[in-house]
């Protein structure tokens, strides 16, 4: 991961040419939050995931006790809040995968652009847990109710199939097209007043209902750990 600074915006590259999909362990989650907090709040922020995000590190999670799972969920939820509350515009550009915690990260963005073949989903339910980084909240805020089947059934679908979910602002043919849209977006942002963008974002965030605290939601997530179902399903996933 690395951040590139331009006069007009930041680009947070989650992976680059030849790399595998990002796996989000606790170090990665902490690094993302700390990196964002170190940025100027006045420039737009682009998340660029050319090889996608495969989700959380199941090997790291499988033997967590409830307190460890609670702290892990808090860490991820605060990362998503850090993205969602960034004062300037946050735009995500993704290919290949947005699974589990990766989709939760993406849902923290203001705008999302993905390739047709980008696979999205919340497979947590097939691992004996639930989305732990505010994914259920952000689906309710940003998406059509039909998207809840991603959570309830653990489905993984291509982004093209999910146009009717309203999760993505644009679906393009391939990564080259994503690059074109990114360049066009830079030009479009330059036409706008950054002060106006900051005010719109502040206005928008003030109207989003947040029921209960992050801590209470992380506690719900952690209650599924130390159960036989969670251990068995995660170990089966690791072996596969």
From 49, 92, 104, 108, active-site residue? 104
From 124, 128, 143, 159, active-site residue? 124
Bridge-partner residues for 156, per DSSP? 121
Which structure tokens are listed for 155? 């489905």
124 is catalytic: yes
Name the E strands within the chain: 2-5, 10-15, 22-24, 45-49, 53-56, 90-94, 97-99, 111-115, 119-121, 156-158, 170-172
From 54, 56, 69, 106, active-site residue? 56
Which structure tokens are listed for 166? 């309203």
143 is catalytic: no
68 is catalytic: no
User: Is the C-alpha dihedral spanning 32, 198, 100, 224 positive or negative?
Assistant: positive
Name the E strands within 67-177: 90-94, 97-99, 111-115, 119-121, 156-158, 170-172
Which structure tokens are listed for 2? 């690395």
56 is catalytic: yes
From 52, 76, 100, 101, active-site residue? 101
DSSP-based three-state secondary structure for 53: strand
Catalytic residues: 56, 101, 104, 124
């Amino acid at each position: 991961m690395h951040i590139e600074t331009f006069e007009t915006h930041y680009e947070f590259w989650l992976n680059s040419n030849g790399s595998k999909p990002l796996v989000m362990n606790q170090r990665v989650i902490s690094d993302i939050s700390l990196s964002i907090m170190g940025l100027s709040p006045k420039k737009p922020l682009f998340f660029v995931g050319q090889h996608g995000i495969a989700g959380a590190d199941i090997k790291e999670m499988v033997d967590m006790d409830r307190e460890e799972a609670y702290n892990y969920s808090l860490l991820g939820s605060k990362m998503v809040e850090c993205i969602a509350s960034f004062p300037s515009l946050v735009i995500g550009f993704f290919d290949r995968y947005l699974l589990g915690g990766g989709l939760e990260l993406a849902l923290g963005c203001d705008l999302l652009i993905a390739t047709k073949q980008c696979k999205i989903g919340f497979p947590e339910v097939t691992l004996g847990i639930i989305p732990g980084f505010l994914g259920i909240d952000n689906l309710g805020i940003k998406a059509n109710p039909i998207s809840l089947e991603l959570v309830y059934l653990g489905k993984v679908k291509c982004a093209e199939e999910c146009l009717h979910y309203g999760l993505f602002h644009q679906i393009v043919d391939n990564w080259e097209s994503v690059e074109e849209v990114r360049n066009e977006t830079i030009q479009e942002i330059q036409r706008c007043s950054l002060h106006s963008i900051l005010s719109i974002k502040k206005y928008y965030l003030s109207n989003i209902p947040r029921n209960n605290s992050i801590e209470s939601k992380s506690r719900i997530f952690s209650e599924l750990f130390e159960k036989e179902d969670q251990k068995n399903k995660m170990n089966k996933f690791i072996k596969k």
